[in-house]
Amino acid sequence: MTPTTETTVGIGGAAESTDMVLNIGPQHPSTHGVLRLRLVLDGERIMSAEPVIGYMHRGAEKLFEARDYRQIIMLANRHDWLSAFSNELGVVLAVERMLGMEVPTRAVWTRTLLAELNRVLNHLMFLGSYPLELGGITPVFYAFREREVLQNVMEEVSGGRMHYMFNRVGGLKEDLPAGWATRARGAVSAVRSRMDRFDDLVLGNEIFRGRTRDVGVLAPETVHAYGVSGPVARASGVDFDLRRDEPYLAYGELQDTLKVVTRDEGDCLARFEVLLEQTHNALDLADACLDRLAELPPGPINQRLPKVLKAPEGHTYAWTENPLGINGYYLVSKGEKTPYRLKLRSASYNNIQALVELLPGTLVADMVAILGSLFFVVGDIDK
C-alpha cells in the first residue's frame, strides 16, 4: 500500500482566537465626562471591561480639610454638576447633626421642595441625552426646554443656574422671593403637562425599545455586591429609597405622595422607565411641598450662627437619596473650624463599577446603550 502524505496549508489567524484590546475614551461623547473603558474583544463580543477613572479627579476630599464649614459647601456641590443642591444638602445635614442643631420648619420644607426640583432637572438631562446616544436626536430638545423652565425658578431663588450655593448650616441662605411660589407652581405644572413627550416619543419608539429591551441586564445580586443604588438599582427590583426607608427633611410627612418606582427586568429599558416615572413623582412631591409651604405661617428660614463655626469633637454619617443614588458624607471633627476628615460616598462611583459585570458577553454595538443607561456623571466618580 502506498503511504499517504498529509500536507497542511497555512490557515493564518483562524488557527486560534485572537483578542483585541480597544480603548474607548478618555474623550468619548457618551460618558457625561472624561471616562476611559479598556475593552478586550473577541470579534464583536466584549470579553472583559475595565473602567479607568481619575481623569477629572481634583482632590475634593482633601480640600474639605482646608476649608471651614461654610466654604466646603462650595466644593461639595460640584462633583455631580447635575445635582448641586442635593450635594450641598448632604454636607449641611452632616454638620447640623454634629452640632445637634434643629432647622426651622420653613427651611425643612423649602429644602425638600428644591431637592425635588433638582431631581427633575437631573433626570431630564438623562431622559434627553440617553436617546441621543442611541441615535434619537429629538428628545434632547424637549428635555432642555423643560430644564430651562425649572432652571429659571431655581436661578431666581438662589442666583445660580447650576451651582446654587443656597444651603447653609442651619437652613437656607435667604427666604423665597415674593411671588416665587406661584411661579414655581406654574413651572411644575408646565413641565408636567409636557412630560408625555417622553412616553410617546421615546418609550413608544420601537427602535428605542429594540435597542434597550433585554440589553445589559443587571441582577439584584450584582446590585448588592457593588453597592449600586438609585434608579439603576430599583430597575433591578431592589426596592430601597432613603426618602421612604430612612426619612430625612420632610419626607416622613410625604409618604402618601412619595412613590418608590421599581422594575424587575433590570435591563436598559427598565432603567429608563424608572427614571421617567420617578420624574413624574418628583413633580408631584414638589407640588405637595408648595401646598405645605403655603400653609406655614411666616417664620425664619435659618438659624443664627456664630462668626466662627466649630463642630464638636466626634464623627457622624449623613446620607441622602440623591437623583443618581445614595450620596453619603462621613464627617470626623476634632473640634476645629475645619473638618478633620470628610469622606464622600458618591452614587456614580459605585454604579459605574457594575460595568465589569454588565459588559462582558455583550456586543460592541450594545456598549453605548449599556453605558448610558447607568446614568452617571464622571465628576461624581472622580470627585
pLDDT at 1 over 80: no
pLDDT at 29 over 80: no
127 vs 283: CA distance, rounded Å: 15
pLDDT at 23 over 90: no
Query: To the nearest 10°, the Cα dihedral for 88, 117, 163, 298?
Result: -70
**Stretch 342-366: mean pLDDT, rounded?**
92
Q: Cα–chain-centroid distance for residue 316?
A: 23
Sign of CA dihedral 330, 227, 241, 246: negative
Pick from 29-33, 267-271, 305-309: least confident:
29-33
Give the pLDDT confidence of 138-185 residue by residue, as tens digits.
Answer: 999 999 999 999 999 999 999 988 899 999 999 999 999 999 999 999
Residue 184 has φ and ψ, to the nearest 5°, of: -65, -40
Per this entry, what is the length of the chain? 383
Give the pLDDT confidence of 242-284 residue by residue, as tens digits.
Answer: 999 999 999 999 999 999 999 999 999 999 999 999 999 999 9
19 vs 297: CA distance, rounded Å: 68
Pick from 28-42, 48-62, 231-245, 265-279: least confident:
28-42
49 vs 69: CA distance, rounded Å: 40
Strand partners, 342: 331
**Could you give the angle at the alpha carbon of 242 between the alpha carbons of 240 and 246, nearest 5°?**
115
CA distances from 84 to 1, 128, 299 (A): 87, 19, 26
354 vs 376: CA distance, rounded Å: 12
Residues in contact with 164: Cβ distance below 8 Å, sequence separation at least 6, in sequence order: 77, 84, 85, 88, 114, 154, 158
Residue 244, all three cell numbers: 421612604
Which residue reads 455586591 in cell numbers? Answer: 225
